[in-house]
Amino acid sequence: MRSSSANKSSFQKKELMNSSMEEEEEAAELRRGPWTLEEDTLLSHYIARHGEGRWNMLAKCAGLKRTGKSCRLRWLNYLKPDIKRGNLTPQEQLLILELHSKWGNRWSKIAQCLPGRTDNEIKNYWRTRVQKHARQLNIESDSKKFLDAVKSFWMPRLLQKIEQNTTTSSSDVNLKNCSHQFLSNNSVVPFVSSSTTPLPPSTIIYNSNHLPKEISNFSTNPGVFSSEFVKFCDQKPEINPEKQKPVLETPLHVTNGNSVNVYNNSNSQIPDDSYSYMDCCSYDMEGGFNLGAPMTELVGNYDEMYSLSGCQVAEGDWFTSDLGDAFWNMDDIWQFRE
């Protein structure tokens, strides 16, 4: 990338000087700072006609006095039609927290799991909201301590918020309105139910790398999907041997976006390698979802950290008192400006 002009002929040197002067002139002409409406229109129209890519050339051909880099960024972060505007939903926040705990600052990777959200937006969310609270608590935001606090207080609160939204929302809210399905190739598509049966809005299924293999082998009726909250973790928790097996009092229905699959204890359909990733689930047999129903027993070490319904925390943990209060009082976390 970095070239030296040493050992060049005088002709070459002259050429280089000319080209660098041209570059300087070009650079002087280049616009910086906020984009104008006119520039946005130029860029959008050009991409609509010619597609994206080759950004430097695109910038010139479109008549934009911007760097290719700047055009790319403007398109990806702002102009692209599928960009989602507005505040992050509790579901999205929850996902960010979980994925960040797994992948760290891999913003673009995290963004791939949140359709319509950009890496920049997620990065900003993390820095302005999450890190802010870490600072307030005098904890390093990348420390285990903070991670524990997030898992123990923040995530349950988000889950609670999701539950609350579920109760207050209409029962015929379809899952497609508020959730996404994470497919095995890591791409994410909005869930579109083939059924007219109302689906619970809080269902999240993600990181299907670890979804049971059986999922694709089931032939099922999509209309019977009724798990209230099903979540799979990509990160294998430390398993308490005595608690390894999830207790499914009723069959568990899991959707991969295309079909619904049923698991239960009796026929051991949940493969050993996958049930341990099951974080929590609850199920209402009757097709609706029953928020009053007890949660099915949690699996893995997360159950010692919290339960979905009660947000219980093991006694004696360092964060249960003062710090816990600090977290509980972070009401701004749950405020969503419209």
**Binding site residues, DNA, CB under 7 A:** 1, 3, 31-35, 53-57, 66-70, 72-74, 77-78, 87, 105-109, 119-121, 123-125, 127-129, 132, 332
Question: Looking at beta carbons only, is 40 or 214 nearer to DNA?
Answer: 40
To the nearest whole angstrom, how small is the minimum distance from the Cβ of residue 86 to DNA? 9
To the nearest whole angstrom, how small is the minimum distance from the Cβ of residue 77 to DNA? 6
To the nearest whole angstrom, how small is the minimum distance from the Cβ of residue 327 to DNA? 16
| Contacting residues for 68 by C-beta, under 8 A, at least 6 apart | 54, 55, 56, 57, 58, 59
Rounded-to-integer distance, Cα 245 and Cα 257, Å = 25
End-to-end alpha carbon distance in the chain: 46
To the nearest whole angstrom, how small is the minimum distance from the Cβ of residue 323 to DNA? 18
Full DSSP string of 186-222: S-EEE---SS-S---TT--B--GGGS-GGGGT----G
Q: Please report, for the chain, how many H helices and E strands are present, in that order.
A: 13, 6
Question: Looking at beta carbons only, is 57 or 192 nearer to DNA?
Answer: 57
Question: Looking at beta carbons only, is 132 or 145 nearer to DNA?
Answer: 132
Residues, the chain, total?
338
| Contacting residues for 13 by C-beta, under 8 A, at least 6 apart | 5
Q: Which two tokens stand for residue 21?
A: 């002067």
To the nearest whole angstrom, how small is the minimum distance from the Cβ of residue 113 to DNA? 12
Question: Looking at beta carbons only, is 92 or 303 nearer to DNA?
Answer: 92
To the nearest whole angstrom, how small is the minimum distance from the Cβ of residue 234 to DNA? 16
Question: Looking at beta carbons only, is 107 or 277 nearer to DNA?
Answer: 107
| Contacting residues for 327 by C-beta, under 8 A, at least 6 apart | 133, 137, 149, 152, 153, 154, 157, 319
Question: Looking at beta carbons only, is 172 or 332 nearer to DNA?
Answer: 332
Q: Which two tokens stand for residue 298?
A: 């949690």
